[in-house]
Chains A and B, each alone.
Chain A
Amino acid sequence: MSEVAEHYTYWVTIFLMVAGIYILIARGNLMKKLIGLATLQTSVYLLYVAPGKLIGGTAPIIAEGFKVYSNPLPHVLILTAIVVGVATLALGLAIVVRIREAYGSIEEDEILERDRAEDERRAL
């Protein structure tokens, strides 16, 4: 049973990751796909920061009276990852806005349908 308690954080992270992946591949709406991608990214932040924590430690800022510090290395990587994640999200949203203006809808099925109809029309 202690195995479960030890690995609990990983399993929560994996559940969040699986939910993000499911939204990404199962839903056809482009906006929802982007939100699924964002939740997938957030679960990865948890995946990286959780193993760095030491119970009884404190934040990695050197101060008087504290001996044990949590690992600062994951924090550094995740800081960069968060900002890059929002940059990617913004770029994806810009593309979705343009798709909406070009095709009139953001449902994946309808967009593919219009492309197929366009190709058939051009083949004739």
Chain B
Amino acid sequence: MVATIVGMVLQRNLFAVVVLFGIYSLLMATVLLALDAPDVAMTEAAVGAGVSTVLLLSALYLTGSEEAKPLHRPVLPLVLSVAVGGVLAYGTWDLPPFSDPQAPIQVHVAPRYLAEAMAQTGVPNIVTAVLASYRGFDTLGEVVVVFTAGAGVIALLRRRKEKQKGKR
């Protein structure tokens, strides 16, 4: 994954960058599967390596496919990004180690969901139960966001077609 990222940063041919992005999404989906998250892995594979890549390719067809050479060496952004990374790494020093059963994330609300979801909802897939029942309002908001994005894309890209109809 690191190799694909470095390739994406350095490549200037945008078609190659999009293909590398598809590979990166697929690798991310495999890693998520290894982290015991089949739902998330399925969604990331379908969305990232599927729909996202298709959309990027179609947008690439509608715009150019080569990136211009930068005019000045981007030293300041590089220093800034690495500085941000350094600060974040310093911050993670105190975070709980990988797979610690006593970490706050594991003892707060999750055991209650794991213990009670089957009895209260009758649905074995805890992720679906939490998504649709315990956190149903979040999912309602998310559906509305997706709908709004679709409406936004329609609003942005529709007028041209009507003008075409008007010409005929």
A residues in contact (CB < 8 Å) with B? 3, 5-12, 14-19, 21-23, 25-29, 31-32, 34-35, 38-39, 42, 45-46, 49-55, 57-63, 69-76, 78-80, 82-91, 93-98, 100, 105-107, 109
Note all chain B residues with C-beta closer than 8 A to A82. 40, 43-44, 47-48
Q: Which residues on A sit within 8 Å (CB–CB) of B145?
A: 84, 87
* Contact between chains at A23 and B9 (CB < 8 Å): yes
Specify which of B5, B25, B77 is in contact with A26 (CB 8 Å cutoff): B77
Complex-state Cα separation, A106 to B124, whole angstroms: 49
Q: Which residues of A contact B131 (CB under 8 A)?
A: 76, 79-80
Known contacts being A25-B81, A80-B138, is A11 close to B99, with CB within 8 Å? Answer: no
Task: Choose among B37, B92, B106 the residue that contacts A10 (Cβ–Cβ < 8 A).
Answer: B92
**Which residue of A has the minimal Cβ distance to B61?**
A97
Cα distance, A61 to B5, chains bound together (Å): 33
Can you list 21 residue pairs at the A/B interface with Cβ under 8 Å?
A7-B98, A10-B95, A18-B84, A46-B31, A49-B35, A51-B95, A51-B96, A51-B103, A52-B35, A54-B36, A59-B37, A71-B106, A75-B39, A75-B127, A79-B131, A88-B149, A90-B55, A93-B56, A97-B156, A98-B157, A106-B63
Contacts of B47 in A (CB 8 A): 82-83, 85-86
- Verify B32–A49 contact, CB threshold 8 A: yes
A23 to B92, CA, bound (A): 23
Q: Tell me if B8 and A60 are in contact (CB < 8 A).
A: no
**B67–A51 CB distance below 8 A:** no
Given A14-B89, A16-B1, A17-B88, A73-B146 contact (CB < 8 Å): no
A16 touches B5 (CB 8 A): yes
Inter-chain contact B98/A35, CB cutoff 8 Å:
no
Check A11–B9 contact: CB distance below 8 A: no
Known: A18-B84, A19-B5, A22-B9. A55 touches B63 (CB 8 A): no
Overall SS of chain A's interface: helix
CB-based contact A7/B93 at 8 Å: yes
**Additional A-B contact list (7), CB under 8 Å, known A70-B35, A73-B110:** A28-B70, A46-B32, A53-B37, A62-B126, A72-B130, A96-B63, A97-B63
Are B24 and A42 touching (Cβ within 8 A)?
A: yes
**C-alpha gap A100/B2 in the complex (Å):** 31
Also in contact, A86 and B51, with CB within 8 A (given A32-B17, A94-B156): yes
Residues A35 and B81 in contact, CB atoms below 8 Å apart: no
Cβ-defined contact, B89 with A11, below 8 A: yes
Q: Is the CB of B9 within 8 A of A70?
A: no
- CB neighbours (8 Å) of B78 from chain A are 22, 26
